[in-house]
Every structure is written in structure tokens, then in C-alpha cells.
Amino acid sequence: MNRKFLLPFLVLAAILTFSSCSNKLKPWAEDYVKAEPQPMEAIGGQVPVTINATIPAKWFNKKATVTITPVIRYEGGEAWGTSYSYQGEKVQGNNQVIPYKEGGNITMKSSFAYKPEMKKSELYLTFDAKVKNKVVKLPDLKIGEGVIATSALADAATANPAIAADKFQRIIKEAHDANIMFLIQQANLRSEELKKGEISDWKDLVKNADEAPNQNVAIEIQAYASPDGGVELNTGLAERREGNTSKYLAKELKKMDVDAPVDAKYTAQDWEGFQELVSKSNLQDKDLVLRVLSMYKDPEQREQEIKNISSVYSTLAEEILPQLRRSRLIANIEIIGKSDDEITALAKSNPSELNVEEILYAATLTNDNAEKTRIYNEAAKLYPNDYRTWNNIGMMAFRAGDLAKAEEMFNKANSVKNNPESNMNLGLIALAKGDKAKAQQMFGSASGVAELSEALGVLYLEQGDYAKAVNSFGSVKSNNAALAQLLTKDYNKASQTLNAVPNPDATTSYLKAIVAARTNDSNGVISNLKDAIAKDSNMKKEAAIDLEFAKYATNSDFTSLVK
């Protein structure tokens, strides 16, 4: 062929060859991609990951569209993340454009619902690519492996459920009073006053309390003069009223054969009583009178200013002041309840002799969970209309791990009376089932419950808000509280909390091993894992795939422990 004709064909072939090569999308290298964190970590039930990638220059065909999707693959399944699409400069579309000549940087964020199987897993990028309408196959690219799932050790089922507490009081204090009234500027005791029913009833009450084996009685006499008439006059008047009342009462107590202590005192001008009566009255200008009391502290000036209010003074003189001319008899009675031994014995032999407060209190006097449960069941039989009995049966079922029975009892308690303790406990049940939204709702109806802070700590922990969880747990000594401290990297505090857990279990030891791993204490890792596995053999399998212990994979003591 003539070279003159051959040259154009060679040029065309070169163009076609170059064009063909430029249409290809080469497989990515792992060097182009960085996944963070690595390994991934479960936070609040999710596994978040941020992927930063560099698309090299002259890689992205001007007519190509590439969709990239991260996927976690684990034994028995896989989880797909958020897809991101990119396009070349000559593609009509709304995706991010990657220049052919310069290449570019991209960021992809995904979050996967955590599953325990993801502890041993691999993270890949998958590619769906086209140049024009032609599918281009690109191999999946592995960019990471494994998920640290320490946060998944949070366990709502181990939190303290709320007890509906008893209101038992060993000593109940009561005050009973009666008034002996006097005429203006007089201190003599009038027979009609001493024969009143309230005086007679008061004396009977004192005698009965003195004779009762479980009661103590002490008596007060408080004598007063009304705040009119001047301080000097009223001081003498109040003092005589107190003296006459004390003599009368001494005689009466002797007749009744009552030996009770008597404390007598007098108040010259009863401004406190005056203010109280005025406040409760319907006086037309009572606000003006009360204002005078607040403005003037000198008793004589007070009296004069009140007298100057002519519109009300006559009413005060007729309705208020006579009520202040009195001696007040007060019987302070202490009712002493059953002893702990008596309550414990009756709870076993004859619980029907205990009132509801006593039988609920009886359950707190034993550390035997079976006995506590029996007492609460007896309480529910005797007092089925008291929600506390049902809640506390549920509390014991919750502690025993019977969440179905616990939920039934908490709902039963709420059917008797909607109450904050059962609402909090139902929140823990919801949290144990993984329903964080319902748990938060129920906790919102549990204001004032002592155990609520711990329950909220577990909720915040499972939501991934570790700092808030630490604050909510406060001084609670539990696995959950220590886990929150561990996840905020306060390893010293976490270790102190774990050492103070009242009833340490396999999880306690396992968490100690994690703290040891994070603080480079290889002996602590081995000793605590041994203890955890001794308490629960399943911990061996967990430790073998837990990336918290990845750097001990070649440690002979570790490998022999978990093999």
C-alpha cells in the first residue's frame, strides 16, 4: 500500500487505541481510601463510618457514572450503607463531578445498624460503574475489618428497678391541743371554760396516751395576751394566765394519776397569732393591717397604727383579739410502733396482723430474695388495692431476670394506680427490649423516683451519649456506670467503680480486662479474662474475636486462654 494512504490509517488506529484505553476505569487501590474509625466502633446501636477517598488524576472517564456503596460483610449476612454517585465532566446529571485531568477527593458517610456478628467482619466498597451505557465491572475493594462493640455491653436488665417504698415510721408524733379562753384583761380560769367538751376530750386523750404501753406523752402550756393594751400590762397578764393554767393542770394530772412532763411559757403579745387570724379573715382592709405589721416592728407603734385604721379596728376588737386571749394546752404524743423483730415474726407467722406499711417494711428487713418475694406476694393478697405491692413483686422478678413476669406486674401496678415507680420500671423493660423511644417516654413519667438517674444513665449509654451517661450515673457503682466511664476514657475512674460493684459478675471482670488492655496492663488482661471465663464460659468466645484485645493475638497466655 502507498505510504501516503497508509499514514491516515495508522493515525486513526492510534486514536482508537487511546480512546479505548481512556474508556476503561481501573480498579482502585486500597491506598486511595481511608475509613475512619478503623476498626469501626458500635455507638448507640449504630456503626458509623466516614470514608475519605482520593480519585487519581486521569482515572474518572469524562463520560462515566460511578456509584459507590460501602458494605459490611459478616458470617451469615451483610449490611449496606449509603450510596454515593459521581459523574464525569461530560455526563448530564446532578451528581458530584470529578474532573478527568485533576481527579478529586470525596467523602462518604454511612451508619449501619449494629449486629453482634459484625464484631468479626470486613468493610468493602462496591462499585456500580458505566461509561456511556456500557457497564464497567470493578472489583470490590476491602478497606477495613472488624467492629469494636464494647458499648454493646450496656445492659438495662442489670439496672436497679424502682422500689415503691413503705412509709413505715417507728415513732409517729402527734400534737393535740385545746384552748382555755380568757376575758379581756383577766387571768382567772372560768368554770364554763374548764367544763368545755374540748378540755374534757383533751384530758381523756392525755390519760389514754399515758396508760398505753406503746405511747409517750409530754405537755406544753402556752399562755398569751392579745396585742392591745401595751407591753407592760400584757406581760403581767400573760404571766398570770400561764401560772393559773399550770396550777389547774397540775391538779388535774394528779387526779388522773398521769405523770407527764409539763413545759409552760407565756407570750406577752401574740402578734404571730394576730397576723395568722387576720390573714385568714374576710376583713375589708386586712391588706392594710398586714402592711402595718410588716412596716413596723415596735409593738406599741404597731398597736397605735392599727388603732388609727378606724374602719377596721372595731371589727378587730370584736372578732380577732378575743381569740388571742388564751392558754393553749398541747399534748405531744409519740406512738411507738412494732419492733423489727416483732414485724419479722408476724410477717412469717401471721402477716394479716401487719398493716400495709408494716408488711412492706418487713420485706426490707431480710436479704433473702425468696423471702422478700414471699412477703410482697402476701402483701398483694392482703392489700391488692395498693399499687406498691404489685410493683415490688415485679421488682423482684426483674432482679431475677424474669422480665415477662416483671412487665406483667408493673402493668398490674399501673392498673391499680398510675405511678412513677412502675413507669420507670416499664421504661427499663422497654430499654432491655431495645425500644429506646418508649423507654424515654416512660422515664418522662417517672419524675421523683430515686432510681431514675441510674435508669437514665443506661438510656444515655445506649444512645451513645457517654458523657451525659457518666453524669447521670453519678456515684452509682455498677457495670453500666463503669462502662460509661471507660467509653469516655476515664480508665482510673472506671477501675475504681468496677472494684466497688456490690455483686461482681463475669461482665465486671470482662470490663476490667478491657480497662487493662487499654492501659497496656497485660497481666491485668489475662487475670481478669480468666476470672470472666470462669464465671461465664461464653466470655472465651467473645474475647477471641474482641478487637479490644487485638494486640494480644500473639500473646501465648492470651491465645491459650481463648482457644
Pick from 168, 254, 174, 262: nearest CA to 215: 174
Radius of gyration for the chain, computed over Cα atoms and rounded to the nearest angstrom: 41
Residues paired with 106 in a beta bridge: 53
Query: Domain extents for the chain?
Result: 23-148, 171-336
Q: Which residues of the chain have pLDDT under 50?
A: 1-22
Q: Please state, in angstroms and rounded to a whole number, the distance separating the CA atoms of residues 376 and 470.
A: 33
Strands (E), 293-357: 326-336
Q: Is the dihedral of CA 97, 100, 106, 108 positive or negative?
A: positive
Take residue 118 and report the three cell numbers written for it: 459484625
Is there a contact between 522 and 555 (Cβ–Cβ < 8 Å)?
Answer: yes
CA atoms within 13 A on the CB side of 278: 25
Q: Rounded CA gap, 309 and 318, in Å?
A: 15
Residue 226 and residue 234: Cα distance in Å, rounded?
7
Helices (H), 444-490: 452-463, 466-473, 479-487
pLDDT digits (tens, 9 = 90+) for 193-231: 999 999 999 999 999 999 998 899 999 999 999 888 778
Q: Strands of 326-336's sheet, edge to edge?
A: 171-181, 326-336, 215-224, 262-267
> 171-336 adopts what CATH topology?
60s Ribosomal Protein L30; Chain: A; (3.30.1330)
Name the one residue in this structure whose C-alpha cell is 486511595.
Answer: 32
H helices of 368-521, in order, are 369-382, 387-399, 403-416, 420-432, 436-443, 452-463, 466-473, 479-487, 491-499, 506-518
SS3 of 187-204: the string is CCCCHHHHCCHHHHHHHH
Contact 483, 470 (CB under 8 A): no
In the CATH hierarchy, which fold is given to the domain comprising 23-148? Immunoglobulin-like (2.60.40)
Whether cis (ω within 30° of 0) applies to the bond prior to 39 is yes
Q: What are phi and psi of 330, to 5 degrees?
A: -125, 125
**Helix or strand run (H / E) with residue 265:** strand 262-267
pLDDT per position as a tens digit, 417-449: 999 999 999 999 999 999 999 999 999 999 999
Among the listed residues 294, 304, 290, 326, the one whose alpha carbon sits nearest the alpha carbon of residue 229:
304
Interatomic CA distance for residues 243 and 239, integer angstroms: 6
In this structure, which amino acid lies at residue 468?
K
Say how many CA atoms lie within 13 Å of 393 toward its Cβ.
24
Q: Which of 399, 347, 405 is nearest to 163 (CA)?
A: 399
What is the C-alpha separation between 246 and 252, in angstroms, rounded?
10
Q: Are 162 and 450 in contact (CB under 8 A)?
A: yes
- Element (DSSP H or E) covering residue 80: strand 77-80
Torsion of CA 478, 482, 484, 487, to 10 degrees: -160
Q: At what angle do helices 479-487 and 466-473 cross, to 10 degrees?
A: 140
Q: Whole-angstrom Cα distance, residue 388 to residue 370?
A: 18
* Other Cβ atoms within 10 Å of 485 Cβ, number: 23
In 3-state terms, what secondary structure has residue 308? Answer: coil
Which residue is listed with cell 490509517? 9
Name the grid cell of 72. 459490611
User: What is the per-residue pLDDT for 23?
Assistant: 54
Q: Looking up cell 457518666, which residue turns up?
A: 470
